[in-house]
Every structure is written in structure tokens, then in C-alpha cells.
């Protein structure tokens, strides 16, 4: 059981460490704390079960585009993955099993949505307010998810639409699509998964594409019984598969960061893919991007192009001018009447709303600190916000491999800082400003020469144009940098000299 004390006067529950979220990050951190012998922690979770993004994104066809044997905890392998790319239900079940196996549920406060986290300079503790109750914690570790807040497009009139509408991350499974005129706005990683699943269902499906994506074939297939047997009884086979996927993915960094011209190999594959699947001479150019491959996330799909060519499907590329009560007006003044709009328009990534809820030393609001783009040290610590750590904070996202690997790296790194803080008997630990600055200057230098800076717009970029989402390198380099943890990068303070 979680050993927490409750200050009944103020109705505030006191805990040593408060974790936000129960996705891979929150669960992974909690397991590490248990390993360290720390039991005094609480996890707040806004929903009524664990799973994070893999609980929320339930749209038809939702799946991961990183192979299952790499997209899982290294310490909790699963010989039973049904196929190369895991589906959403399989990933959600995996995370539920992990939470059960490590007996994390007693630590979790479900239906507790974060409202505010405020650092108290005098006590050196965080006051965390949530929809389900308030907490006082010495440390806060946020595994809130980089892609957790669905974003609706800023199209004039969108709020006036009177038909049915929902976002891909809040799929309305009760809404019946047959016979309806349905619009999909957005053609990103989510849309290319759900559009093929629903394409033949409505009377008419209009897919509004602002920018085409580069798409390569998806090498998916079920694992055979023999393979699963081997993974289970001869674990080295599973490890070899994992290592092979890892190395293949890492090799992409050569093109993405070091030598962008190498990305032409992917371009050839993507061009061949579209040539094989789209014969129509008017449709093919509409679907072919004019920016370098890899600048936006490379998507994988075998059924996106065929779905767009179904007789009831149209691809609209003219750009949306406005949305009216029952229609969408494009730039060419054509009115597209629709009964339902499905938004596949992504998430608040570079402008994560959580930043407006966090107040550090002297009441400094994180969204203000980050107004010109998010910055942290090693994606987890921000100067001015003592004892607060992000998992999957700024510049940790990958364009090429598994986020679970990055999460495990950060979990280990945070645990080392916690240990150092204990050993030095300090009340607060905070990254030094010059260390954070120097680190970010180095990142931006690398990012400036990367494929992501070659002129496209993407959710990797803050509105200022700064790339604040991506780690510009190999994942093992990130791990090495985190391992080479230097105490001198941080200020360990007692309360007296905290201010
Ligand atoms: P996304 O990649 O950000 O795509 C959003 C789409 O909406 C884009 O096509 C964008 O067009 C369009 N859009 C946004 N605002 C618009 C507007 N005002 N008018 C017209 N179109 C507009 O979002 P997502 O598809 O939800 O995917 C987000 C990320 O989630 C992915 O990149 C990936 O990292 C993750 N994801 C992963 C998986 C997986 O398999 N692991 C699956 C799904 C999602 P523009 O391109 O022109 O901006």
C-alpha cells in the first residue's frame, strides 16, 4: 500500500513523490521507485483506468507504428505480441497487466485531473490541486504525455458547426456512420490509420488534406505460433528481434540528423509506394509531398491510398476557408455539405496546456517561462522549478524510434537525481540555468542542420519556428548523456538558501 500521511485540517494528502499520469512514463517511474525501495508515492490519473495515450486513442485501426518488441518495457517483455505492430487494445492490455503485476493500483488516484501545481518556497514542497483532491509533495514527476490534449483546428466558424463532430482521440463509437456525409479534417498519423477502417462505410467521405505526407509501406504481419513459442521459451530469439528493430530504427538518424541527403533512400521507397498504389494522374500529384522526406513524421500504411480511391471517397485539397452550421467551405468557394466532422487534427504538443498549471519558485508560471519555446535540461528539469521533473519533456520525442526507450532512460536519470538529493540531504534540487542554456544551444545547433529544419511545418516546432519536440540524435546518445549525470549540473539546496 502507498504510505502517505494526510493533513486532515487542510484536507491535503501529503506524499513524498507525486507522479502525474499512468501511461508508460508514470507506470515506469512508479516501478523504478519501488525498485529503489520508495513506497511513499501517489500517482494521479485523470481517467478511470491506466494506459495514457493507449487508453484514450480508441479510434478504429489505432495502432503503434513502432514494432511491438521494441515498443514495450525492456524489463517487461511480452513474448505474446500478436503481430509486428501492436494495436491499441493490445497495448492498453499490456499496460493494465504491468500496473497489476507491480501492484501499482493502490498508489493510483483515478479521476484526479491536475488543476495546478504550485511550489512553496518556504516549505520546499509542491501543492498539487486536482479535481479529486489536493496533495502536498516534495517531488513532482510529470508523465502527462506529450500528445495528450486533442487540438481542434483554428478554422473560422468551426465552433458553429451544428452537425455531429468528434476528435480522433475522443472517438464516438456510438455514432452511426452508414448513410452519412462525413468529413475528415487532417491527414496525419491518426487519420491514415482510421480513414481506411471507415472509408467504405458512410454514404460519402470527404478527406480534407492540407499537406500530403510521405508514406512508406507498413511491414506488418501476425507472429506465427512457432515464433511466439520461440520468443517465450528461447528468450534470446526475442532479444535478437528487439535488437534488430532497434538498430534498423537507429540507422535512420544518419539521414535525419547527420546526412539529410541519405533520406533519399526513403524517398525512393515512398515514391514507388505511391506509384504502385495510385494510378490516377490527377490524384497522384495531390498526394505527393513537395518537401523533403522526414521533415514531417514519415508515415507507414498499406491501405491509405487504396482507401482514398474508393468510389464514395473524395480527397479535397483546396484548403478550408470556413466551417458553417452544416458545411465546410473551401478556398475555391465550394460548399461541402456534411453531417459529421471527424477531426484528425493532432494535439497541443509544443504548447502543452499543462505548462499553464505549473508555478515554480517565486510563483513563476511555466507557460510564461516557455513563451518563446519549451526548454529543459535533458528533457526533464527546468531552472526555476525545483523538485519537478518531466518525463517526455522538451526535445525528447523521436522521429525514428520507440518512446518507451526514451522514457526508460529518463526514469533512470530522475531516479539518480532523487538519490543524489537524498544523499546530500537537500530539500530541493534544481538544474543550473547556465547548464540548461548550454545544453539547449547544443541541441538547437544540431537541429538546425537536421531534416526537420528543411522548411516544412510540423508539430515538432513551436510557433516561433524553434524545434522543441525532437531529440536530435541516436537514442543511445541520449542515454549516455543521462548516465553521465553530473551533480554539479544541479543546485542542491537546504531550505535556508533556497530563495
Ligand atoms: P498530426 O500528425 O499533428 O496531424 C494533424 C493533421 O491535421 C495534419 O494533417 C494537419 O495538416 C491537419 N490540420 C491541423 N490543423 C488544420 C487546419 N486548421 N486545417 C486543415 N488541416 C489541419 O496529428 P495526429 O495524426 O493525431 O498524429 C500526431 C502524432 O501522434 C503523430 O505524429 C505520432 O507521433 C502520434 N501518433 C502515433 C501513432 C503511432 O502509430 N505510434 C499513431 C497516431 C498518432 P498539416 O500537415 O498541414 O499541418
Domains by residue range for the chain, with CATH: 5-50+104-149+348-493 (3.50.50.60), 158-213+259-343 (3.50.50.60)
Residue having the nearest C-alpha atom to atom 33 of ligand 1? 189
pLDDT at residue number 499 = 38
Three cell numbers, residue 353: 496546456
Say whether pLDDT at 7 is over 70.
no
Residue having the nearest C-alpha atom to atom 32 of ligand 1? 189
List Cα–Cα distances, 142 to 27, 75, 116, 286, in angstroms. Answer: 11, 21, 12, 41
Separation between Cα atoms, residue 35 and residue 37, nearest integer Å: 5
Closest CA to 216 of 310, 319, 312, 296: 296
Arithmetic mean of pLDDT over the chain? 95
Burial zone of 331 (CB within 10 Å; 0-12 exposed, 13-18 middle, 19+ buried): exposed
% of the chain exceeding 90 in pLDDT? 94
Q: Are the beta carbons of 194 and 169 closer than 8 angstroms? A: no
Ligand 1 centre distance from Cα of residue 446 (Å): 24
**CB of 207 shorter than 6 A to ligand 1:** no
**CB of 52 shorter than 6 A to ligand 1:** no
pLDDT in tens, 251-282: 999 999 988 889 999 999 999 999 999 999 99
% of the chain exceeding 70 in pLDDT? 97
By residue count, the chain amounts to 499
In Å, how far from its chain's centre is CA 90? 18
Ligand 1 centre distance from Cα of residue 469 (Å): 14
**CB of 30 shorter than 6 A to ligand 1:** no
pLDDT band for 455, please (50, 70, 90 cuts).
Answer: confident
Ligand 1 centre distance from Cα of residue 130 (Å): 29
Helix 24-35 to helix 88-101 angle, to the nearest 10 degrees? 20
Residue having the nearest C-alpha atom to atom 12 of ligand 1? 186
In the DSSP assignment, the letter for residue 109 is E
Ligand 1 centre distance from Cα of residue 296 (Å): 10
pLDDT band for 485, please (50, 70, 90 cuts).
Answer: confident
Give the chain's radius of gyration (CA, Å): 23
Ligand 1 centre distance from Cα of residue 347 (Å): 7
pLDDT in tens, 10-68: 699 999 999 999 999 999 999 999 999 999 999 999 999 999 999 999 999 999 999 99
A 10 A CB-CB count for 328 gives 24
Is residue 192 classed as helix, strand or coil in its secondary structure? helix
pLDDT in tens, 164-211: 999 999 999 999 999 999 999 999 999 999 999 999 999 999 999 999
Residue to probe by mutation, ligand 1, list 188, 193, 322, most atoms within 8 Å of CB: 188
pTM: 0.95
Ligand 1 centre distance from Cα of residue 61 (Å): 15
pLDDT in tens, 330-342: 999 999 999 999 9
Residue to probe by mutation, ligand 1, list 58, 89, 210, most atoms within 8 Å of CB: 210
Amino acid at each position: 500500500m502507498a504510505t502517505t500521511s494526510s493533513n486532515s485540517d487542510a484536507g491535503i494528502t501529503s506524499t513524498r513523490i507525486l507522479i502525474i499520469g499512468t501511461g508508460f512514463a508514470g507506470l515506469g517511474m512508479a516501478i523504478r521507485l519501488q525498485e529503489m525501495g520508495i513506497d511513499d508515492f501517489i500517482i494521479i490519473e485523470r481517467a478511470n483506468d491506466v494506459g495514457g495515450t493507449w487508453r484514450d486513442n480508441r479510434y478504429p485501426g489505432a495502432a503503434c507504428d513502432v514494432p511491438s518488441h521494441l515498443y514495450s518495457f525492456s524489463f517487461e517483455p511480452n513474448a505474446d505480441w500478436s503481430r509486428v505492430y501492436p494495436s491499441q487494445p493490445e497495448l492498453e492490455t499490456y499496460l493494465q497487466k504491468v500496473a497489476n503485476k507491480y501492484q501499482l493500483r493502490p498508489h493510483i488516484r483515478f479521476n484526479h485531473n491536475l488543476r495546478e501545481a504550485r511550489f512553496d518556497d518556504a516549505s520546499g514542497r509542491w501543492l498539487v490541486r486536482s479535481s479529486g483532491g489536493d496533495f502536498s509533495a516534495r517531488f513532482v514527476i510529470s508523465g502527462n504525455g506529450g500528445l495528450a490534449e486533442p487540438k481542434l483546428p483554428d478554422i473560422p466558424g468551426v465552433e458553429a458547426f451544428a452537425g455531429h463532430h468528434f476528435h480522433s482521440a475522443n472517438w464516438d463509437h456510438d455514432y452511426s456512420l452508414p448513410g452519412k456525409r462525413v468529413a475528415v479534417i487532417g491527414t496525419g498519423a491518426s487519420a491514415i490509420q482510421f480513414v481506411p477502417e471507415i472509408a467504405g462505410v458512410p454514404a460519402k467521405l470527404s478527406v480534407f488534406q492540407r499537406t500530403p505526407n510521405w508514406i512508406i509501406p507498413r511491414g506488418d504481419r501476425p507472429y506465427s505460433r512457432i515464433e511466439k513459442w520461440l520468443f517465450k521459451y528461447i528468450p534470446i530469439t526475442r532479444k535478437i528481434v528487439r535488437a534488430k528493430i532497434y538498430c534498423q530504427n537507429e540507422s535512420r538518424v544518419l539521414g535525419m540528423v547527420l546526412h539529410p541527403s541519405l533520406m533519399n533512400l526513403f524517398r525512393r521507397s515512398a515514391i514507388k509506394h505511391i506509384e504502385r498504389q495510385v494510378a490516377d494522374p490527377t490524384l497522384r500529384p495531390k498526394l505527393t509531398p513537395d518537401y523533403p522526406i522526414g521533415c514531417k513524421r514519415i508515415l507507414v500504411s498499406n491501405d491509405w491510398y487504396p482507401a482514398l480511391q474508393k468510389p464514395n471517397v473524395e480527397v479535397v485539397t483546396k484548403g478550408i476557408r470556413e466551417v458553417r452550421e452544416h458545411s465546410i467551405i473551401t478556398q475555391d468557394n465550394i460548399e461541402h455539405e456534411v453531417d459529421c466532422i471527424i477531426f484528425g487534427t493532432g494535439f497541443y504538443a509544443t504548447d502543452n496546456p499543462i505548462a499553464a498549471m505549473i508555478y515554480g519558485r517565486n510563483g513563476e508560471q511555466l507557460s510564461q517561462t516557455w513563451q518563446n519555446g519549451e526548454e529543459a535540461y535533458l528533457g526533464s528539469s527546468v531552472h526555476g522549478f525545483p523538485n519537478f521533473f518531466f518525463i517526455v519533456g522538451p526535445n525528447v520525442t523521436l522521429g525514428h524510434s520507440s518512446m518507451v526507450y526514451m522514457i526508460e532512460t529518463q526514469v533512470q536519470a530522475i531516479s539518480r537525481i532523487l538519490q543524489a538529493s537524498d544523499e546530500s540531504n537537500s530539500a530541493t534540487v534544481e538544474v543550473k540555468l547556465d547548464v540548461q542554456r548550454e545544453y539547449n544551444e547544443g541541441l538547437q545547433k544540431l537541429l538546425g542542420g537536421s531534416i526537420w529544419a528543411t522548411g516544412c511545418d510540423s508539430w515538432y516546432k513551436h510557433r516561433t519556428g524553434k524545434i522543441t519536440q525532437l531529440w536530435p540524435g541516436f537514442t543511445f546518445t541520449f542515454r549516455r548523456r543521462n548516465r553521465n549525470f553530473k551533480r554539479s549540473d544541479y543546485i542542491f539546496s537546504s531550505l535556508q538558501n533556497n530563495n
